[in-house]
Amino acid sequence: MTTPVLEARDVTMRFGGLTAVRSVDFTVNSGEIVGLIGPNGAGKTTFFNCLTGLYVPTEGTVSYQGKVLPPKPHMVTQAGIARTFQNIRLFANMTVLENVLVGRHTRTKEGLWSALLRGPGFRKAEKESEAKAMELLEFIGLAAKRDHLARNLPYGEQRKLEIARALASEPGLLLLDEPTAGMNPQETRATEELVFAIRDKGIAVLVIEHDMRFIFNLCDRVAVLVQGEKLVEGTSDVVQADDRVVAAYLGEPFEGAPGTAEAAEVEAAEAAADAESADAESAADTGSTEADSTTKGEAQ
Amino acid sequence: MTDTTTISPAATERGPVPLPLSLARLLVVVGAVGTIASAFLSWTWTSDFPGDLTVYGYPAGLQILALVGGVLTLLFGLTLWDVKWLRWLNPADATSPVFLTALSAFAVCWFTGIAIAVDLGGLVNLDPGAYVAMAASALPVAGALALPHPAPGTGIRGYLTKPQLPAPTKVSALTERVIITVGVALALLAFTYGIGIDNDASETFIGYLLLLVFAAWGLMHTGLVDRFATTAAHHKGFASALAFVAAVVFPFTQNDDHNANVGVNILIFATVALGLNIVVGLTGLLDLGYVAFLGVGAYAAALVSGSEYSRFSGVHFPFWAAALTGMAASLVFGVLIGAPTLRLRGDYLAIVTLGFGEIFRITVNNLDGTSGPNITRGPNGITQIPDLNIFGFNLGDSHDVLGHSLGRFANYLFLMLIVTAIVVLVFTRAADSRIGRSWIAIREDETAATAMGINGFRVKLIAFALGASLAGLAGTVMAHVNYSVNPQPYQFAGAAPPNSAFLLAAVVLGGMGTVSGPLLGASVLYLVPEKLQFLQNYELFAFGVALILLMRFRPEGIIANRRRQLEFHETGQLDVPAQETLSDDAAVTKAGA
Ligand SMILES: Nc1ncnc2c1ncn2[C@@H]1O[C@H](COP(=O)(O)OP(=O)(O)OP(=O)(O)O)[C@@H](O)[C@H]1O
Ligand SMILES: [Mg+2]
């Protein structure tokens, strides 16, 4: 049961002078739920982007089921890795059902000609896609809202819909970037169940989260990323017991901290980015809710 | 304008005109009847004023429009009295349709009175009929302002508040079809009347627009327009077949081939706008040089038309081959322009297409044998393009059908109708499929779309090339309709369609992502410059003002795509960016509930 699904070798991502991810080796095995944690700005999302081809890593390779992935998002999805986004990126003005149908893009083939000619093959494929999409909507519990616009869904349901859309591509590995951000405890519990159910479908899951209780309940293995470097990796107990992890989260200096020299630099870059873009602003917004849940998690 | 409030007569506020309710209702009806009657009087003494408003007992021009406005006011006025067989007209029992239809008649009558006085130099030129019309048409407006309206505290604006509409009563499928038929017939009637207005009678056309805008606005407030739209969406096939039939009937209603010519040009313009809608409306790519693809198609068709001025004058393709040539040529250019630019994001494409549009025109201007090789004969263009001959049927000849003589332009109108039908079919089928969904996904969020496995470049290139070849197809017909092709119309912006700016405006004004939107937008944008010749020097200015007003009050366009309508109006505010609603506290609380 331990064939590796995803193998990242020596992945480094630099933005100009800033090294957001530094020589990270990482493996996800089939049937595993793996957590990726780390303080804000540690490079978790950047690492996800490297895995899914949204960023071309400066160094290193990512392979899926033994094959090296080209750094093109659509090819990565085609290969079998699906993801969700930290700031929900649904197709806001498409219906719930259409969102999931778009997720099926890589598993269907009908091109322009078959759409124009509408032969029996086209109809059959559309029917099948719709049936599969509805199945997924049943699975996450949004079937009743199939014709609602995605933008009109409450926050928690939007996150669920993003998961359904990702699942529609029939992935072997699902990457979740903070799936419970902004959720209340009940919704978080429900998401936990959902992730287990996804694993039971035979899909490996890699999840970024700031809610520690969520992570430690869920994950077979947890990796901690601090300032772009993998600090610790192991079972929940190992990670929870590690002093360096607590120190990294609370910001205490400790012996042999990786990248201390760059801390100031990172902060400066972040400040600049914050000041510049409205995107950064909304990210900061989410940041504050994350901070809350972090404290909660820590209290456990 | 779109806030909806429940109407409960007890709680409603009275209007600014202090009259008892019963008197107000009476005033509306009496005024409406007076307006109708005034249409049968003489409004001015001389037939110098367009439309000949001098005859007693026989309404003409603006008088007909006043008559229509009066009848509408009367009908809606009567709904205030719970007349049983009129209930369906105003199911919400609202005041605003009464007010708006009263305004339509008022606007027409007062505009006419003022126009007569201004055009002919003084109030002495007004006959008593005009005074009667102006006075009578003012009564329903005053009456309506004495009626209660559903949005207390908003003053006069409350009369423009769309009332909460009750759920429509169910009717049989047959009745629905009858509703569609009546709607299409009315639309055909309105369109035929508009197109039939003499080009010199700009006053009549302005009156027509006034009536149309206020009456349409009033009808929207009754919910009848929404009702019609949902009914038509229910019976899509029937509705489009009927619209097609109406378009076929149109030439038979015209005695003058000139109007058929206008009809063909509108169809060409509308078809190209529909092609552009794939690129702009569905895929969200801004193409500022789209008219060049129309030009490529037209020139390609002209070169293989057998015209003696064509470089290849010996070559005379049959129409189907010429159409394919035009499409193929546009397709090739589409791919050539798209391939290098579509990999980039956003604005680059706009700039490159803008450049391509201008380069096309300038190049065609220079391929005249002096500045470059002689292919297009430069500014002279390729002339004397022979008429098409399809299955031995010469489109240049008049034909008698059902005792009605159909001229050359009517023939081309039928050909163009087939082309339009093909383009409509391509648009709807492509939009509702895997590829169409990926276009919309890319428009919504390109990053997310690629993360869902969509090859953005490929899919955008398909949209771009498809749009280009549809424009090329329309171009092949256009070359033959106009007898000639020359570089002049293929510019970025100009005073008359088609040009890239007008095409884009037709899409935005009509409604992005819809089929009927660009068709309607193109008709409006073609007819307005054609009928209001006096605007010529101010046209672009007027056009700009109109666009700004539209974007302020109806950003989703005349025909709203369901998505876009929700997008713009559900919050009641237009300026709330989507992202903020998401991270909003309220949204989070809602998610928690
Ligand atoms: N496109 C980019 N260009 C420049 N710098 C970037 C870019 N994307 C991320 N960074 C920087 O890389 C660092 C890591 O960011 P990242 O978003 O990966 O953090 P994170 O671990 O996901 O944090 P959070 O928990 O807040 O989501 C930050 O300093 C960020 O400013
Ligand atoms: Mg992140």
Q: Which residues constitute the domain of residue B368?
A: 256-491
Per the domain annotation, does B343 fall within a domain? Answer: yes
| pLDDT, tens digit, 9 for 90 and up, residues A268-290 | 665 665 555 544 444 444 444 44
- SS3 state of residue A67: strand
Whether the link from the prior residue into B9 is cis, omega within 30° of 0, is no
Among 3.40.50.300, 1.10.1740.10, 2.70.160.11, 3.30.1330.20, what is the CATH number of A4-250? Answer: 3.40.50.300
Q: Among B491, B525, B554, where does a domain finish?
A: B491
Q: Are residues B324 and B463 part of one domain?
A: yes
Asked if B588's CB is within 8 angstroms of A152's CB, the reply is: no
The model's pLDDT over A245-271, given as tens digits with 9 standing for 90+, comes to 877 777 655 455 555 555 556 566 656
In 3-state terms, what secondary structure has residue B512?
coil
Same domain, B306 and B340: yes
φ/ψ of residue B349, rounded to 5: -60, -45
Question: Is pTM, for the whole model, over 0.95?
Answer: no
- B498-543 tens-digit pLDDT: 888 888 888 888 888 888 888 888 888 888 888 887 777 777 787 7
For residues A152-168, give the mean pLDDT: 91
- Same-domain check for residues B206 and B271: no
Q: What is the pLDDT of residues A6-59, one digit of tens each?
A: 999 999 999 988 999 999 999 999 989 999 998 888 899 999 999 999 999 999
Q: Predicted confidence band at B377 (pLDDT cuts at 50, 70, 90)?
A: confident
Largest CA distance in chain A: 68
Which protein residue's CA is at the shortest distance from atom 22 of ligand 1? A45
Q: Sorting pLDDT into bands at 50, 70 and 90, what band is A198?
A: very high
Q: Are A33 and A195 in contact (CB under 8 A)?
A: yes
* Whether B74 and B219 share a structural domain: yes
pLDDT at A253: 55
- Structure confidence at residue B14 (pLDDT): 65
The pLDDT, as a whole number, for residue B224 is 80
Asked if residue B72 and residue B189 are part of one domain, the reply reads yes
The answer as to whether B79 is a domain residue is yes
- Is a pLDDT exceeding 50 seen at residue A189? yes
**Does any CB of chain B come closer than 8 Å to the CB of residue A86?**
no
- Asked if residue B230 is part of any domain, the answer here is yes
SS3 B40: coil
Q: pLDDT band for B222, please (50, 70, 90 cuts).
A: confident
**B269 and B362 share one domain:** yes
Confidence of residue B340 (pLDDT cuts 50, 70, 90): confident
Ligand 1 atom 16, closest CA: A43
Contact A173, A52 (CB under 8 A): no
Pick the last residue of a domain from B491, B510, B544. B491
Grouping H, G, I as helix, E, B as strand and the rest as coil, residue B3 is: coil
Residue A153's φ and ψ, nearest 5 degrees, are -80, 150
User: How does pLDDT run across B75-109, given as a tens digit for each residue?
Assistant: 888 888 777 777 777 777 778 888 888 899 999 88
Query: Is B173 found in the same domain as B121?
Result: yes
- Ligand (nearest to CA of A177): 2
Write down the pLDDT at residue B361. 87
A92 and B438 within 8 Å at the Cβ level: the answer is no
pLDDT of residue B58: 78
Residues of A in contact with B449 (CB under 8 A): 91, 102
Q: Round the average pLDDT of chain B to a whole number and report it.
A: 80
How far apart are the CA of B514 and the nearest CA of chain A, in angstroms? 14
Domain ranges of chain A: 4-250, 263-300
At residue A101, the pLDDT reads 94
Q: Strand pairing of A204-208 and A173-177?
A: parallel
* B106 & B229 share domain: yes
What stretch of H or E contains B163? none
- Tell me which amino acid residue A140 is: I
* Together in a domain, B369 and B316: yes
Percent of chain B exceeding pLDDT 70 equals 90
Residues B322 and B210 in one domain: no
Number of folded domains in chain B? 2
Q: Is the pLDDT of residue B580 over 50?
A: no
H/E segment holding residue A281: helix A278-299
Structural domain ending residue among the three candidates B209, B237, B265: B237
Residues B35 and B147 in one domain: yes
> B573 to chain A, minimum CA–CA distance in Å?
15
| Residue located nearest, by CA, to atom 19 of ligand 1 | A41
**What is the model's pLDDT at position A261?**
52
**Interatomic CA distance for residues B98 and B157, integer angstroms:** 14
Which one is predicted more confidently, B548 or B51?
B548
Q: Are residues B125 and B178 in the same domain?
A: yes
Per-residue model confidence (pLDDT) at position B589: 32
Judge whether residue B588 has pLDDT over 70. no
Residues of B in contact with A292 (CB under 8 A): none
Mutate to test the interface with A, among B423, B424, B433 (most CBs of A within 10 A): B433
| CA dihedral (A231, A232, A237, A241) positive or negative | negative
Q: How far is the centre of ligand 1, averaged over its atoms, from the C-alpha of A167 (Å)?
A: 25
Tens digits of residue pLDDT in B426-482: 999 999 899 999 999 999 998 999 999 999 899 999 999 999 999 999 999 998 888
Number of H helices, E strands in chain B: 22, 4
Closest CA to B267 of B148, B463, B416, B75: B416
Higher pLDDT, B10 or A211: A211
Residue B268 belongs to a domain = yes
Q: Is A77 on the interface with B (CB under 8 A)?
A: yes
pLDDT reported for residue B561: 65
